[in-house]
Chains A and B, each alone.
Chain A
Amino acid sequence: MGILLIHILNALLYASVLFLIAGGLSLIYGVMRIVNLAHGNLYAIGAYVTAWVVGQWLVGAPTVVLYLLIPAGALAAAATGAIIEPTLLRPFYKRAEEYQLLVTFGLLMILEDVVRFIWGPYPLSASVLWSELGSIAIGDALYPTYNLLVIAVGGLAAAFLWMFVYRTRFGVVLRAASQDMRMAAALGINVNRVYVQAFTLGCFMAGLGGAIIVPSQSAVLGMSVDALILAFIVVVIGGLGSLEGALVGALVVGVVREAGIALFPEIELAILYLIAAIVLLVRPAGLFGRTA
């Protein structure tokens, strides 16, 4: 019983972080119709910044302060997004989609090395926050308390986002923009502002994913590309542009990954793609996607 619960918690842990990454990707696509190949890098930036603040810069500070500084990575990712959108992406909205993919691929290469330049090639860790909280007993086994915190943050983020998109004025604007940008523009919505806000919010989510997971696993080079691939599976299953889809997709991927690690480690990723392929064959736009 305890073992099963631990597996479920692990699946939720994966799902929380994946939801943050894929939700951001999906939000950006929904509003701007851009697939950002550098999205994983923003997740990495979130992880690196938090690990650096907690593990190097303020090492020795009171732990309460350190816990409060976890969101620093998310803010850094959001700031990066707020710079990237107007400077690099804006010139491409009127051009063919291929160019948008290409420019974000270039961005991926650049950000990958910028991270290496700033923090060097070695892993960066903030494990003090992870070990500080200790473990709790679940059945006969021990489970890291910090992981529960991550799950809680993931759940809260989903709830906040839902409220934000469906219960605030800004959410209305976002949804209008994702329905029909030209119509929204005709109604007096400042498109440029909506774009930069949506992109920043999407990057914030990715950064938050990196920031909350980094105490339990170090920030390493290459984490961005791995995360991007998993986020793609999530959005392919859930439907690109849908937040509900990102949530369900993240849960599916989380459960399959956890089961995969225990039962079929070799073909875990292949199984995920198989599921994605089946979803696509049955529902081409994903479980929650709109057909274009």
Chain B
Amino acid sequence: MSLLLTTKLTKHFGENRAVDGVDFAVREGQVLALIGSNGAGKTSLVNLISGLLRADSGQIQFRGVDVTAESVHGRIRAGIARSFQLVNLFDQLTCLDNVALSIFAREGKARKLFSLARRYRGIWEEAAEVLHRFGLDGKARMLAGGIAQGERKLLDVAVAYALHPRLLFLDEPTSGVSTREKAPIMDTISSIVRSQGITAVIIEHDMDIVFNYSDRIVCMHQGTILAEGTPDEIRRNESVTTTLIGTPAS
């Protein structure tokens, strides 16, 4: 059974059919790559599923439950989390705080008004543990606004990961960093996702990353799904290579 299933999901911005009747499925345990040229509708699709945008029509089912009308909060409760293409962090808080807040929210403790945050030992230990996994130990006490871009990308993922999602959307986790940094970042993310058995959807432009790190690839074009399959199938799919890369793959 699919973990996530959208049926005829549609979002138009005026004339622009950003997402046009998309049936999109993600199986439990998969790492799926969502590819397509700029404006293909990848980010809009993720925005619809994560709740940042409201669909014009169509349905979103998560674990067999219709979540189309759910709030962002409800979807997070259900187990959908995401990172952002343009890093979205709490810049004036420390890296440790950034991750801890996710855990407080997840545990339903963020609304505690009259008890000191430092009392929640377990949460701080878990937050430190998450930073450790992402190789950010040394940055725990630094402000999130003051660390390097590659570290910010990782922290952004760590914040989403700390919510313990069943389905994690990663919107271009390596955009804006140097080519040299891309592989280490993806290695870190990939090993965490795989070892924890998290289902992940990665939006990515870099085809090397797509082919190296995903089990399955969905290619979008002009708001619709053009093709989907295993990395090998997609590599051999001529319509994908021509629309996406412009020239046949060498």
Chain A–chain B contact at Cβ < 8 A:
no
- Chain A residues with CB under 8 Å of chain B are none
